[in-house]
Structure 1
Amino acid sequence: MQAKTVHNQPITNTPSAFTQFWEDVKAIAGPYWYPTEARGRAFPDVIRAWGMLIILILLIIMLVGVTAFNSFVSRYLLDIITEEKDFNEFINTLLVYGAALVCVTLLVGFSKFVRKQIALDWYQWLNNHILEKYLSNRAYYKINFKSNIDNPDQRISQEIEPLIRNALTFSATFLEKVLEMATFLVILWSLSQFVAVVLVVYTIIGNLIAVYLAQELNKIKQEELEFDADYTYGLTHVRNHAESIAFFQGEKQELNIIKRRFNNIIKSAKRKINWELTQDIFNRGYQAVIQIFPFIVFGPLQIRGEIEFGEIAQASLACNLFATAMAELIREFATSGRFSSYVQRLGEFSDAIEFVNKEPEKVSTIKTIEENHLAFENVTLQTPNYEQVIVEDLSLSVQPGEGLLIVGPSGRGKSSLLRAIAGLWNAGTGRLVRPPLEEVLFLPQRPYIILGTLREQLLYPHTTHKMTDAELKEVLQKVNLQNLLSRVDGFDTEVPWENILSLGEQQRLAFARLLITHPRFTILDEATSALDLKNEESLYQQLQDTKTTFISVGHRESLFNYHQWVLELSGDSSWQLISIQDYQLQKSKEVVINLPKNSEITIDVLPKNESQTQPETSIEIGTIEGLSHKEMQTLTDCSINTIRSKASLGKSITANDGFTYRYDKGPKVLKWVRA
Structure 2
Amino acid sequence: MALQSRLRPAMDELKMHALSYGARGFVAYRQNHAAIQRFLRIGYIAFILGSTYRGLTAAGRKKKPKQPQAKTAGLDASEKGPTPGEEAASSAKQAQQQVVEADEGGRGGRGGRKGRKSRAPRVEVDAVFFERLKRILRIVVPGIRSKEAGLILLHTVFLVLRTMLSLYVADLDGRIVSALVRSQTRQFIVGILWWMAVAIPATYTNSMIEFLQSKLALCYRTRLTRRVHDAYLSDMTFYKLGNLDDRIKNADQLITVDVAKFSKSLADIYSNFAKPILDVCLYNYKLSQRVGAESLIGINLLVQGSAALLKALTPPFGQYAATEQQLEGEFRFNHSRLIENAEEVALYRGQAAEQNVIERAYFSLIKHVNRVYKIRILHSMTEEGIIKWLWGSLGLCICAVPVFVRIPGAGGKGLDMGSRTESFVTNRRLLLSSSDAFGRVMYSYKEISELAGYTARVSELLDTMDEIKAGRFQKKLVSSASVEENAKVLQGRGTIEEDRADDAGVEFRDVPIVSPNGDILVKKLSFYVKPGQHLLIIGPNGCGKSSLFRILGGLWPVYGGKVHKPPTSEFTYIPQRPYLSLGTLRDQIIYPHTVSEMRARGKTDEDLLDILKVVQIEHIVAREGGWDVQREWRDALSGGDKQRIAMARLFYHRPKFAILDECTSAVTLEIEKIMYDHATKIGITMLTVSHRPSLWKYHSYVLQYDGQGGYVFTELDAEKRLALQEEKQALEQKLLQVPKWKERLEALKAAKEERLSRPSSPVHEIKGLTLTA
CA positional deviation for 1:543:
2.2
CA positional deviation for 1:127:
0.8
CA positional deviation for 1:156:
0.9
Query: 3-state DSSP class of the match of 2:563?
Result: strand
Distance change (3 Å), C-alpha of 1:382 and 1:22? farther
CA positional deviation for 1:125:
1.7
2:217 to 101, 115, 119: 119
**Structure 1, unaligned stretches of length 5 or more?**
35-42, 594-620, 629-651, 653-675
Distance change (3 Å), C-alpha of 1:390 and 1:441? same
CA positional deviation for 1:412:
1.5
In structure 2, how many angstroms separate the alpha carbons of the residues matched to 1:21 and 1:356?
22
What amino acid does structure 1 have at the position aligned with 2:238?
Y
Report matched runs for 1:658-669 at 5 Å: none
1:407 to 538, 542, 559: 538
In structure 2, how many angstroms separate the alpha carbons of the residues matched to 1:436 and 1:138?
15
* 2:514 equivalent in structure 1: 383
* 2:691 equivalent in structure 1: 555
CA positional deviation for 1:245:
1.0
Preserved contact between residue 68 and residue 184 of structure 1 (Cα < 8 Å): yes
Distance change (3 Å), C-alpha of 1:233 and 1:90? same
1:320 to 411, 423, 432: 432
What amino acid does structure 2 have at the position aligned with 1:249?
R
**Within the alignment, does 1:15 sit opposite 2:115 as a pair?**
no
Report matched runs for 1:585-604 at 5 Å: 585=721, 588=724
What amino acid does structure 2 have at the position aligned with 1:208?
A
Query: 3-state DSSP class of the match of 2:677?
Result: helix
CA positional deviation for 1:287:
1.3
The answer to which structure, 1 or 2, has the higher relative contact order (CA under 8 A, 6+ apart) is 2
CA positional deviation for 1:263:
0.8
What amino acid does structure 2 have at the position aligned with 1:248?
Y
In structure 2, how many angstroms separate the alpha carbons of the residues matched to 1:535 and 1:271?
62
Preserved contact between residue 224 and residue 265 of structure 1 (Cα < 8 Å): yes
Distance change (3 Å), C-alpha of 1:412 and 1:309? same
Preserved contact between residue 6 and residue 387 of structure 1 (Cα < 8 Å): no
**Within the alignment, does 1:72 sit opposite 2:171 as a pair?**
yes
2:228 to 130, 140, 145: 130
CA positional deviation for 1:407:
1.6
Preserved contact between residue 578 and residue 643 of structure 2 (Cα < 8 Å): yes
1:291 to 392, 406, 426: 392
What amino acid does structure 2 have at the position aligned with 1:507?
Q
Worse-matched range after superposition: 574-583 or 544-553: 574-583
What amino acid does structure 1 have at the position aligned with 2:587?
E
Distance change (3 Å), C-alpha of 1:487 and 1:239? farther
* 2:18 equivalent in structure 1: none
Query: 3-state DSSP class of the match of 2:625?
Result: coil
Distance change (3 Å), C-alpha of 1:386 and 1:290? closer
What amino acid does structure 2 have at the position aligned with 1:183?
L
**Structure 2, unaligned stretches of length 5 or more?**
1-74, 97-123, 406-411, 474-490, 738-773
Preserved contact between residue 80 and residue 90 of structure 1 (Cα < 8 Å): yes
Query: 3-state DSSP class of the match of 1:169?
Result: helix
Query: 3-state DSSP class of the match of 1:410?
Result: coil
* 1:105 equivalent in structure 2: 203
* 1:597 equivalent in structure 2: none
CA positional deviation for 1:249:
0.7
TM-score when normalising by structure 2 = 0.69
* 1:374 equivalent in structure 2: 505
Query: 3-state DSSP class of the match of 1:441?
Result: strand
1:528 to 646, 652, 664: 664
* 2:749 equivalent in structure 1: none
Report matched runs for 1:134-149 at 5 Å: 134-144=232-242, 145-149=244-248
Name which one, 1 or 2, has greater alpha-carbon Rg.
2
Distance change (3 Å), C-alpha of 1:301 and 1:6? closer
Distance change (3 Å), C-alpha of 1:274 and 1:353? same
- Structure 1 or 2: more helix by fraction: 2
In structure 2, how many angstroms separate the alpha carbons of the residues matched to 1:260 and 1:74?
57
CA positional deviation for 1:310:
1.4
In structure 2, how many angstroms separate the alpha carbons of the residues matched to 1:80 and 1:249?
80
**Within the alignment, does 1:495 sit opposite 2:626 as a pair?**
no
Preserved contact between residue 537 and residue 688 of structure 2 (Cα < 8 Å): yes
**Within the alignment, does 1:460 sit opposite 2:591 as a pair?**
yes
Distance change (3 Å), C-alpha of 1:588 and 1:74? same
**Within the alignment, does 1:439 sit opposite 2:570 as a pair?**
yes
Preserved contact between residue 217 and residue 276 of structure 1 (Cα < 8 Å): no
Distance change (3 Å), C-alpha of 1:493 and 1:330? farther
Report matched runs for 1:146-545 at 5 Å: 146-190=245-289, 191-193=291-293, 195-212=295-312, 214-285=314-385, 286-295=387-396, 298=399, 302=403, 306=413, 308-359=420-471, 363-371=492-500, 372=502, 373-383=504-514, 387-464=518-595, 465-466=598-599, 468-482=604-618, 484-485=620-621, 488-545=624-681
Preserved contact between residue 536 and residue 702 of structure 2 (Cα < 8 Å): yes
Distance change (3 Å), C-alpha of 1:389 and 1:280? closer
CA positional deviation for 1:56:
1.9
Query: 3-state DSSP class of the match of 1:423?
Result: coil
Distance change (3 Å), C-alpha of 1:337 and 1:506? farther
In structure 1, how many angstroms separate the alpha carbons of the residues matched to 2:450 and 2:637?
42
What amino acid does structure 2 have at the position aligned with 1:152?
A
Could you give the per-residue CA deviations for residues 529-584 of structure 1, whole angstroms, max 9, x where no partner exists?
Answer: 33343432332233233232111112222210211111223335443322211895
In structure 2, how many angstroms separate the alpha carbons of the residues matched to 1:627 and 1:568?
26
What amino acid does structure 2 have at the position aligned with 1:289?
L
Preserved contact between residue 440 and residue 521 of structure 1 (Cα < 8 Å): yes
CA positional deviation for 1:312:
1.2
What amino acid does structure 2 have at the position aligned with 1:15?
A
What amino acid does structure 2 have at the position aligned with 1:224?
E
Could you give the per-residue CA deviations for residues 422-443 of structure 1, whole angstroms, max 9, x where no partner exists?
Answer: 1222323333232233332211
Query: 3-state DSSP class of the match of 2:561?
Result: strand
In structure 2, how many angstroms separate the alpha carbons of the residues matched to 1:388 and 1:583?
36
Could you give the per-residue CA deviations for residues 393-439 of structure 1, whole angstroms, max 9, x where no partner exists?
Answer: 54433233221111222212111111121122232333323223333
In structure 1, how many angstroms separate the alpha carbons of the residues matched to 2:498 and 2:683?
23
Worse-matched range after superposition: 576-585 or 6-15: 6-15
Distance change (3 Å), C-alpha of 1:330 and 1:109? same
* 1:598 equivalent in structure 2: none
Could you give the per-residue CA deviations for residues 72-118 of structure 1, whole angstroms, max 9, x where no partner exists?
Answer: 233234334434x5554445544444444433322222233233323
In structure 2, how many angstroms separate the alpha carbons of the residues matched to 1:421 and 1:363?
18
Preserved contact between residue 77 and residue 493 of structure 2 (Cα < 8 Å): no
CA RMSD of aligned residues (A): 3.3
Could you give the per-residue CA deviations for residues 14-71 of structure 1, whole angstroms, max 9, x where no partner exists?
Answer: 538422222221221123335xxxxxxxx6x844432332222222122212212332
TM-score when normalising by structure 1 = 0.79
Could you give the per-residue CA deviations for residues 592-625 of structure 1, whole angstroms, max 9, x where no partner exists?
Answer: 89xxxxxxxxxxxxxxxxxxxxxxxxxxx9xx65
Preserved contact between residue 592 and residue 627 of structure 1 (Cα < 8 Å): no
CA positional deviation for 1:291:
3.2
Query: 3-state DSSP class of the match of 1:524?
Result: strand
Distance change (3 Å), C-alpha of 1:209 and 1:375? same
In structure 2, how many angstroms separate the alpha carbons of the residues matched to 1:355 and 1:349?
10
Could you give the per-residue CA deviations for residues 279-298 of structure 1, whole angstroms, max 9, x where no partner exists?
Answer: 33334332133334444565
Q: Give me the identity figure in percent.
A: 22
